[in-house]
A and B are shown apart, each in its own frame.
Chain A
Amino acid sequence: MKTYEFAGLEFRLNIFNLLFNKTMIIAYVLIALAAFGIYEIFELRYFSTAANAHAAGLDPTNPGLKDAMKLAVFGTVGEVNREVPWTLFIVNYMYMIYTGSGVIFLVALAELMKFRVVERAAAGFMALGLSMVFAGLFTISTDLNMLNMHWMLLDPNVSAGMWLMLPLYLTYIPFVLFEIYLILTKKRELARRLALPILIMSIGVDLVEYYIQAKLFSMNTARHLWTEFPLLTLYFIISAFVSSLGIMGVYSYLVHRKKPEYAHIMDLIRKGILFFISVLALYEVIAYLVVDKDWAFLILFGPFKYLYFLGYILLIMVLPFFLVFRPTESYWKIVLASIFTIVGGYAGRYLFVYGGNANPMSNRFGVGYEKYDLYDIASTFNYAHPHLGEIFIVIGSIGIILAVYKIFDSLFDIARLRDSH
């Protein structure tokens, strides 16, 4: 295949191979699901049966109005449920951003610590991490009112929390791309020097993201699970690292399993998983002793208990621990542990977002909690299933990861292990 060179960077350009290969076909299918999800969300968001008091006066015999009033009285109106405003979009966004930046952080750390084998595989890992960040941004953009998003540029409030992320992403993403460029052009020393700022920015993304969320949530005391969690940033980072290592484990199996370095990479991943799940386990023990008892009971003994113990604790900690505890040459154990940590990490994010919504209380007055819902029968548990559209968008975000990664790989062969010089 013909190769080209630009700024010292060799790349292959064959449009057919770039767009039509096995990975891209899978990505297209997943992205098509996301497109269908966006259509579903559009229908729900912009064409739901809803009416206001004036419509009732102006055209009282309208059949659409009849449906809208029926929904208003007996059902839940519209896309956003006031009691459960944060949904699967946020779960997926947080998971992708934290886990993706976690992969980049761990690789940058390994570069600084001169783990040669990780250095050689760094371009692929980093491209994968970056693909996850893009998938997170894709998810959150579909959560917003897409028709009004141009106002972000036309009338930005640059001091708003959301805008804090923009300069960070505008620096972080090019820095990671430049790091990949340095690795691909075999400028190893420069790449190692750049690893430190990338390391700091990877944590910066997590810290700023948390700061924005905490700033928002801390005002609304009704949902204080999210702000009372001790050292929440650390918790997010640690739990993300476990899933990040899982992502790296599965990726290594798919891409490097036939290479002689595979054993070394998997052993490092095994040690990493073991270390971080140990820290995470310590964290979990302490955390639920200090959070508000209402939430602790809802999650540990209430409607979330199966998700917490079987979906989260078992998958992200217990099973991986037993699988990777001893050094092994049965690498399928590490791959299996990796899959568990990926799924368990997702369950943890789901639990955290939906758990935060779940306690049906309101503290609107600051003089005590009131019944949240003045018109319905008082509930002890708030939960709203994700919309079908949301689920499709989340599945489709995996297609974004595959597509972005594969484009990198088709152009620059990033899956290849590269020697330092």
Chain B
Amino acid sequence: MNYAMALDYQNCINCKACETACKEENGVQLGAHKQRIWVGIVEGSIFGKPFVNLYPSQCNHCIDAPCVSVCPTNASHYAPGGIVKVDAHKCILCKGCMEACPYDARFVDDTTVAVDKCTFCDHRIEKYGTTACQETCPTKVRLFGDLDDEESDLVKLLKTKRFFVQKERSNTLPKLFYIVPNDEAYLRQSVSHDTTIYTWESFKPIYDRASKKRSQG
């Protein structure tokens, strides 16, 4: 099993239902800066024409996660399904993982005095098969699934769409896949030209190599 998520980000309407559902489902600390998931905003203008792009995001549960390798106490670790998790009782609050994470996906939970982050709702996967954020999204932005299962909806979607990942040059092999919008101009508003656009065929060998490397390591 290797859990991942695809995001049809063009559909996001910034309603923040996913953020609320996440807080409710996981008992996340209250506070505007205490977020396991968030909707990012990139604003700009092209030749005077303004645009706003919304990027729902969260921990990328990277295959080669720098937050895991910098943790001095193994509090950050890979749980079954390739989910990156934090053992709160082992966290010494060195904040190294917060700095190492290229996606700025971690924060300090003051109720546990430990770093906290998205867990892909691993406690509910068995019963409900998906995360609270996906279940709540009114515009079906998110799709959670197993990359190892060729029959999963996730893999089926990735086989039919093109997608990109965030900060691929960090070489962390993230597992949040942003689906390329049908309107290429929308994509290019805020995605740079040197961002690699993958298909399942081009991505699969990279993913297989990385997964194999990690299972050997």
Binding-face segment, B38-46, B122-130, B200-208: B38-46
- How far is it, in angstroms, between the C-alpha of A223 and the C-alpha of B12 when the chains are bound? 28
Query: Counting CB contacts under 8 A, is B57 at the interface?
Result: yes
Knowing A85-B98, A220-B100, the reply to whether A79 touches B110 (Cβ < 8 A) is: yes
Of A71, A83, A145, the residue contacting B113 (CB under 8 A) is A145
Q: B residues within 8 A CB of A69?
A: 30
Binding-face segment, A19-27, A103-111, A330-338, A361-369: A361-369
- How far is it, in angstroms, between the C-alpha of A314 and the C-alpha of B210 when the chains are bound? 52
Q: Contact check, B108 vs A78: say whether CB atoms are below 8 A apart.
A: yes
Instruction: Mark B17-39 against chain A: 1 for CB-CB distance below 8 A, else 0.
Output: 00000011011111111100011
- How far is it, in angstroms, between the C-alpha of A73 and the C-alpha of B31 when the chains are bound? 6
A-B contact count (CB 8 A): 189
Q: B residues within 8 A CB of A362?
A: 40, 104
Q: Contact check, A366 vs B70: say whether CB atoms are below 8 A apart.
A: no
Query: Counting CB contacts under 8 A, is A148 at the interface?
Result: yes
Query: Counting CB contacts under 8 A, is A5 at the interface?
Result: no
Q: B residues within 8 A CB of A159?
A: 69
- How far is it, in angstroms, between the C-alpha of A115 and the C-alpha of B160 when the chains are bound? 75
- How far is it, in angstroms, between the C-alpha of A46 and the C-alpha of B100 when the chains are bound? 25
- How far is it, in angstroms, between the C-alpha of A281 and the C-alpha of B100 when the chains are bound? 32
B side interface size, CB within 8 A: 61
Q: B residues within 8 A CB of A364?
A: 40, 57, 103-105, 166
- How far is it, in angstroms, between the C-alpha of A375 and the C-alpha of B30 when the chains are bound? 13
Q: A residues within 8 A CB of B192?
A: 367-368
Query: Counting CB contacts under 8 A, is A77 at the interface?
Result: yes
Q: Which of A21-60 contact B (CB under 8 A)?
A: 45-46, 48, 50-57
Q: A residues within 8 A CB of B40?
A: 362, 364-365, 370, 374
Knowing A151-B75, A364-B104, A367-B42, the reply to whether A219 touches B96 (Cβ < 8 A) is: no
Q: Which residue of A lies closest to B110 (CB)?
A: A78
Query: Counting CB contacts under 8 A, is A152 at the interface?
Result: yes
Q: B residues within 8 A CB of A221?
A: 102, 167
What is the minimal beta-carbon distance from B14 to any residue of chain A, in angstroms?
A: 9
What is the minimal beta-carbon distance from A289 to any residue of chain B, in angstroms?
A: 26
Q: B residues within 8 A CB of A329?
A: none
Q: B residues within 8 A CB of A68?
A: 30
A80-B93, A82-B33 are known contacts; what are 12 more A-B pairs with Cβ within 8 Å?
A50-B29, A50-B31, A52-B29, A72-B30, A151-B90, A155-B73, A155-B90, A219-B102, A222-B104, A365-B42, A365-B166, A368-B192
Knowing A157-B71, A219-B101, A365-B166, the reply to whether A77 touches B42 (Cβ < 8 A) is: no
Q: A residues within 8 A CB of B100?
A: 215-216, 219-220
Query: Counting CB contacts under 8 A, is A1 at the interface?
Result: no
Q: Contact check, B92 vs A151: say whether CB atoms are below 8 A apart.
A: yes
Interface residues of B (CB under 8 A from A): 23-24, 26-34, 38-44, 53, 55, 57, 66, 69-75, 89-96, 98-105, 107-111, 113-114, 166-170, 190-192, 195
Q: Contact check, B41 vs A370: say whether CB atoms are below 8 A apart.
A: yes
Interface residues of A (CB under 8 A from B): 45-46, 48, 50-57, 68-69, 71-73, 76-83, 85-86, 143-145, 147-149, 151-152, 154-157, 159-163, 215-217, 219-223, 362-371, 373-376
Q: A residues within 8 A CB of B29?
A: 50-52, 72, 77
Pairs across A and B, CB under 8 Å, 17 listed: A52-B28, A57-B24, A69-B30, A72-B31, A72-B32, A76-B33, A77-B110, A81-B33, A85-B99, A145-B93, A145-B113, A147-B113, A151-B92, A157-B72, A216-B100, A362-B104, A371-B41
What is the minimal beta-carbon distance from A225 to any residue of chain B, in angstroms?
A: 13
Most buried by B among A143, A148, A161: A148
Q: Contact check, B92 vs A220: say whether CB atoms are below 8 A apart.
A: no
Q: Contact check, B72 vs A152: say whether CB atoms are below 8 A apart.
A: yes
Knowing A79-B108, A155-B90, A368-B44, the reply to whether A220 touches B73 (Cβ < 8 A) is: no
Q: Contact check, B102 vs A366: say whether CB atoms are below 8 A apart.
A: yes
- How far is it, in angstroms, between the C-alpha of A343 and the C-alpha of B165 when the chains are bound? 46
What is the minimal beta-carbon distance from B65 to any residue of chain A, in angstroms?
A: 11
